[in-house]
Structure 1
Amino acid sequence: MAFLIQVLDARVADDFRMDLFDIDKHFSQLVPLKALRDALLRNAIAAVAAKQLGRVKGDKPFSGRQCQRPSTMETLDDVAEVDWFYKAANYYDKAIAFSRIYLEALSGTLSRPSSPNMITTTSVTNSDDLLVAVSIFSLYESLDSREMGWLRHLAGLKTLLTAISVKQQGLGVTLPSYSAAHNACFWNFARADHQAAYINRQKTHLDPDDLDMWRSCGLQVQDNGALYTDLIDIKSEQSQCRQTVQLVAHTLIYLALRVVNYLAQNSEQEWDSWNTLNCQLELWYGNLPMTFRPCAQIRHRHQSGAAETQLTEVFYSMETCAASIQLYHFARILLLVNKPRERTGVSRLKAYREVSSEALKHAREIIGIALGRPTPAVRVEMLLPLYIAGGCLEADDERKTLVEIMRAIEKDTGCSTSVTVNSLESEWGWIEEPKGVD
């Protein structure tokens, strides 16, 4: 038990980008408490924590100098002798076994209820725990690769979310909103869904056109495409600040899914669809509350001593805002590079130059937030935006800076970036690493 407590304290929450858009921090603050009495969650969390420790070789980073010595719970003995990946796999296997038991029990409750009142507190709790566990399984797989394993868990999570939602609706269970766990899992799923869809060049699991589903999870999108019930209320933050931040962030995730689905269309891209998405993104950005503005910006000084640089270091007071703004610039780049051909007399070369210039501006904004060194959760979440930004860069000093950022993310968080870096260097034509890159 003592070892398990140490593993649970291994700051797995640092990689909990799962909570990045959740003001209640359900995964990092509430789930560990549930895990004290739930074997499924306890083993799932331990699996992720152990794998994370394996990737960072047992190191637990501390921010800045620490005057007080670490507590005994924070100190892991004989780190070098521990096979963290073996322990991770062991906990993972146990968690999978418990999940099968939960799934069998839940399947019986959902498929053969004796009455509409059959969905009891216990069954709802079990379904919530299973949703959380499958979400953690996806995180476990994604620590190794952004390719296959985590995508299977995403598909399973979508099936589970749908089954629970449909059954509740069919039994006449009137819920103004789902449970906190359900909403946390839904938005974590949406966060990962647009990434998976983009990587695999396919449509998202979640349907952006199912407005009732999005509204049931807190979104305010209207039938006519309007994003909020009251724009003035959003921009002036008359409502509670943290709730507004979450709503604005969730709205952008919804738009990101719409953009990715636009790219996945097989038919010729239509101007109407592109213009609608472009206008919605402009509307979102133009009505941001003050909390989404950076609290500080300074010019970045590259280690190579380059006299001039177009990069700045950007700092945000809230990690949700930093991640949201990066996602916004990511979506804008995707739209720009997939803009339908002009049907006017504008030359293709001129159109390319205009798109290239705009995309570069968005790319520098993404890198600027990364240079501000936000929390680990934001740094792990920014890998896909950084990759897209890298494709827009032309100056070697900016490319070197991007490589340094991505390699530092891997060293600090254990999240693999080598494949992404190699892909960018190949795209740039860098057969060998340029001098000056550590």
Structure 2
Amino acid sequence: MPGVPSNKACERCKKRHLKCDEARPQCQRCINAAVDCPGYVQTCKFIDQGAAVRRRYAPYHGEQVNRHHNPANTLGNALTSKQTLPRNPLGTNPDAAGRAMPGPSRVQSATTVPAPGSTLGIHQLVSNSPAGDSLQSSSPGASMQARSIIPTPDGFSQDIDPAGIVRPDPFIGPPWNDVRSSSTPKQPFNDLAYGSAAMTPRRRQESSHTEHTSPQSPSQADENESIQDMYSDLISDSGYEESFLVRYYVEALAPWLDLSDPRKFFATHVPLRAKDDVALRYSITALAAKHLGRMKGVKITENTGLFTTPAMMETYSDVSDAEWLHKATTYCYLAGQRLNTALSESYTAVSSSAVLKSPFETINDWLRRQYKKAPSDSETQTVLGKRLENSLAVSTILNLYKSMDEPAENWHSHLSGVKPLFETIVRLFDDMTPAPTSFPPGVIAAFWNVVRQDYLTSYLNRMQTHLDPNNFKLWRYAGIPLDDEGNIGSIRNTFSLPEDLSFHSLARLSCKVVNFMAESKKSFLQQLIRSPSVEGSGASSPYPTTSTWLDLSFEYQAWVERLPESFRPCVRLDKPRNLAAMPGATPVPFPEVYYSLPSYAFAMQMCHFGRLALSLNRPADALTAPSTAFDRVQGYRELTKEVDYRCKEIIGIALARPQTCARVYMAPLLFAVGQFQEALEEQQIVVDLLRGIEADLGWETDSKIKALQTLWNHQ
């Protein structure tokens, strides 16, 4: 098997987890610290990269050597490896009774030495796992680490290193850390869709045997080999790297997905479920690695101690942004591959073309197959609901992964397949017995993330939203108690709405306004080209009509009147002034408005944006239009005041710098209100806010800045 250097760093840098320059005879870090460099240990690390490498190096594999081995030689090799074991890192020495005794004695191998005439092969002493394990050998004079074999409850063996750490199974994927891999509980249910995550060791051996013996086409073999190569790039120190990335996701990125979720599903439940769901784990690490690459390796976590030492999982060795982006791409591909494999309900390999398919379309295909089965018992519904939650969480995280560095106009294509997917979910839940009153929490959390991106990108493209706001049954399942006319029913014993219901009802109202604007643009284009649908005989005025505009205006007014008290800003500066500037300096032309929760800040921005869009897109009507020139001028003045007020409120909320989960979604709104700024100072403030979002959060805003500058130059 191929041997590669395991670690070229000196012993001091390796223990301190520092990047070593590998200078000889002493590294620069030790010289700067005025200490003697302990030197370098030249060890080779042999990595089993799967069936492709085993086929390539078949003449040298243990199975062929085993046919000609001598039991006496096996015994001699076992005794030799036992005599050259390193010192016990835990400082214990098991006595004859099996008790741990303190002392610096050598570790005794747990491997039973075979008696003369035994048929135990040398390859069984080295590795007994289905996929093979790593063997570390050292140069002459250095100690060799031998593997130990421990029995498992199902009668098979699993190898451990002298430190007592169980090796991860490459078929399942790297664990969070080495300790978790030895104590992971069994799956709550054993379903084919979870693939390798639910396989017992015997089934993994059978699957591995099938993979070795079944014929494969050259393209499929090359594809499997490329996946193994990608996995081998990540397997080095994978437990530590994944622990770092998962913690970074929970602290910095999960709040972006939990903006309006009081349960905090993506921050609380998703990391726990990712322990047993490989696709979910890879999607988390892909998102975290990509964000670190966008941030040039700078963390944006709020848990920053000024006088305390960070935890080991909070730090990571110096990694360039290009390497983080490469890791993110690999993790993302593996996440898509695992998701397709899990939902294919088979053990066959998934082609790369299927991995490139939209995750929402993949889930929809799987749900259609489940719909034909018509699940009725409660246990099947529970399993189906959990699998659906996990799959939607993977799709939502990967969707955020793709949206991070692309213009918001491109988000519309990322959401293709969302409408038929949720329509299938609604039909599936309708047929359940008993019929549930709402989606599971994970489905609801994914749904509102899709809605948020849907109306933002649809506004920029002047297109209809993917999700229909008039599909009352869908929004009822999502948590909004709508009646048959689409109005929110009365809440018991209170006039105001709960905070989460207020936020979600505003999101649905925003979808209706965006569709109204899309229809206004369509109607305007039809009038320009004199479409027959407009000039048809007896045709009424095209949608949208004044009555539709009035209905939306009344809905906004009713939403504001039913807001809870907590939606009011807790701090407001109408004329903020820089205290470090000169006494006669001009104050900032915008206020600073700060809300206690980021969801409130974003909700109020969306409220001002929706009412601004309605004011600018009021349809002409012969009955309500101004009759005289003075009335028209007066109407223009009132519209100008309305636009100025709404723009100042939206920019003022952004100037107060709410939490990151609200700032990442502000770019389309700042782009919308930035078009109305005429003074150079006001334009510069909008540009600084957009640049700050990209610099602080890694969110793409450069395209919006260039579009605004082009627009301002032509004014």
TM-score w.r.t. structure 1 length?
Answer: 0.90
Unaligned 5+ segments in structure 1 are: 238-243, 432-438
Secondary structure at the counterpart of residue 344 of structure 2: helix
- Mean alpha-carbon deviation: is it higher for 260-269 or for 378-387? 260-269
> What is the CA distance between 1:165 and its match in structure 2?
2.2
Letter in 2 for 1:264: A
- Mean alpha-carbon deviation: is it higher for 251-260 or for 212-221? 212-221
Work out whether 1:301 is the aligned partner of 2:581: no
Secondary structure at the counterpart of residue 204 of structure 1: coil
Aligned partners of 1:148, 1:429: CA distance in 2, in Å?
22
Aligned partners of 2:495, 2:259: CA distance in 1, in Å?
20
Unaligned 5+ segments in structure 2 are: 1-238, 346-365, 524-541
Letter in 2 for 1:344: P
Secondary structure at the counterpart of residue 129 of structure 1: helix
Aligned partners of 2:267, 2:419: CA distance in 1, in Å?
21
Over the matched positions of the two proteins, sequence identity in percent amounts to 31
CA, structure 1 residues 158+95, in 2 after alignment: closer, same or farther (shift >3 Å)?
Answer: farther
CA, structure 1 residues 204+6, in 2 after alignment: closer, same or farther (shift >3 Å)?
Answer: same
Secondary structure at the counterpart of residue 572 of structure 2: strand
Give yes or no for contact 2:248–2:301 (8 Å, CA) kept in 1: no
- Corresponding residue number in structure 2 for 1:178: 439
Aligned residues: 424
Letter in 1 for 2:570: C
Aligned partners of 1:65, 1:312: CA distance in 2, in Å?
31
Aligned residue among 359, 368, 381 for 2:652? 368
Work out whether 1:335 is the aligned partner of 2:596: no
CA, structure 1 residues 398+8, in 2 after alignment: closer, same or farther (shift >3 Å)?
Answer: same
Give yes or no for contact 1:102–1:126 (8 Å, CA) kept in 2: no
> What is the CA distance between 1:259 and its match in structure 2?
0.2
Give yes or no for contact 2:249–2:285 (8 Å, CA) kept in 1: no
- Corresponding residue number in structure 1 for 2:151: none
> What is the CA distance between 1:317 and its match in structure 2?
0.9
- Corresponding residue number in structure 1 for 2:308: 68
Give yes or no for contact 1:10–1:53 (8 Å, CA) kept in 2: no
Letter in 2 for 1:95: A
List aligned pairs for 1:129-168, cutoff 5 A. 129-147=390-408, 150-168=411-429
> What is the CA distance between 1:56 and its match in structure 2?
0.4
- Mean alpha-carbon deviation: is it higher for 356-365 or for 15-24? 15-24
Work out whether 1:79 is the aligned partner of 2:319: yes
Instruction: Identify, as 1 or 2, the structure richer in helix.
Output: 1
CA, structure 1 residues 270+304, in 2 after alignment: closer, same or farther (shift >3 Å)?
Answer: farther
Secondary structure at the counterpart of residue 340 of structure 1: coil
- Mean alpha-carbon deviation: is it higher for 25-34 or for 65-74? 65-74
List per-residue Cα deviations over 1:119-170 (Å, max 9, x = no partner). 4322221111111111111101101113576434422343332222212213
- Corresponding residue number in structure 1 for 2:560: 285
Letter in 2 for 1:9: R
Aligned partners of 1:156, 1:109: CA distance in 2, in Å?
16
Aligned partners of 1:280, 1:81: CA distance in 2, in Å?
47
List aligned pairs for 1:266-277, cutoff 5 A. 266-267=522-523, 268=542, 269-277=544-552
CA, structure 1 residues 289+115, in 2 after alignment: closer, same or farther (shift >3 Å)?
Answer: closer
Give yes or no for contact 1:329–1:362 (8 Å, CA) kept in 2: yes
- Corresponding residue number in structure 2 for 1:9: 247
List aligned pairs for 1:6-405, cutoff 5 A. 6-11=244-249, 14-15=252-253, 16-63=255-302, 66-80=306-320, 83-105=323-345, 106-107=366-367, 109-113=369-373, 116-117=376-377, 119-147=380-408, 150-230=411-491, 233-235=494-496, 244-265=498-519, 266-267=522-523, 268=542, 269-298=544-573, 299-301=575-577, 306-341=585-620, 343-347=625-629, 348-405=632-689
- Corresponding residue number in structure 2 for 1:241: none
- Mean alpha-carbon deviation: is it higher for 247-256 or for 23-32? 23-32
List per-residue Cα deviations over 1:210-253 (Å, max 9, x = no partner). 11221222113333453341497143x7xxxxxx1101000100
> What is the CA distance between 1:107 and its match in structure 2?
4.3
- Mean alpha-carbon deviation: is it higher for 330-339 or for 165-174? 165-174
Give yes or no for contact 2:426–2:474 (8 Å, CA) kept in 1: no
Secondary structure at the counterpart of residue 67 of structure 1: coil
Secondary structure at the counterpart of residue 373 of structure 1: coil
> What is the CA distance between 1:397 and its match in structure 2?
1.6
CA, structure 1 residues 333+122, in 2 after alignment: closer, same or farther (shift >3 Å)?
Answer: same
Give yes or no for contact 1:371–1:405 (8 Å, CA) kept in 2: yes
Secondary structure at the counterpart of residue 593 of structure 2: strand
List per-residue Cα deviations over 1:334-384 (Å, max 9, x = no partner). 111111236231545443332222111111111111111111110101111
Secondary structure at the counterpart of residue 366 of structure 1: helix
Secondary structure at the counterpart of residue 320 of structure 2: helix
Give yes or no for contact 1:139–1:150 (8 Å, CA) kept in 2: no
Give yes or no for contact 1:231–1:287 (8 Å, CA) kept in 2: no
Give yes or no for contact 1:12–1:48 (8 Å, CA) kept in 2: no
Secondary structure at the counterpart of residue 112 of structure 1: helix
Give yes or no for contact 2:292–2:321 (8 Å, CA) kept in 1: no
Aligned partners of 1:224, 1:26: CA distance in 2, in Å?
31
RMSD: 2.4
CA, structure 1 residues 42+310, in 2 after alignment: closer, same or farther (shift >3 Å)?
Answer: same
Aligned partners of 1:346, 1:287: CA distance in 2, in Å?
37
CA, structure 1 residues 311+147, in 2 after alignment: closer, same or farther (shift >3 Å)?
Answer: closer
Aligned partners of 2:425, 2:486: CA distance in 1, in Å?
27
> What is the CA distance between 1:188 and its match in structure 2?
1.3
Secondary structure at the counterpart of residue 314 of structure 1: strand
> What is the CA distance between 1:104 and its match in structure 2?
2.5
Letter in 1 for 2:295: V
Secondary structure at the counterpart of residue 207 of structure 1: coil
Give yes or no for contact 2:261–2:445 (8 Å, CA) kept in 1: yes
Give yes or no for contact 2:602–2:662 (8 Å, CA) kept in 1: yes
Q: Which has the higher contact order (CA 8 A, sep 6+)?
A: 1
> What is the CA distance between 1:327 and its match in structure 2?
0.8
> What is the CA distance between 1:72 and its match in structure 2?
1.6
| Larger Rg belongs to | 2
Give yes or no for contact 1:138–1:149 (8 Å, CA) kept in 2: no
Secondary structure at the counterpart of residue 10 of structure 1: helix
> What is the CA distance between 1:429 and its match in structure 2?
1.5
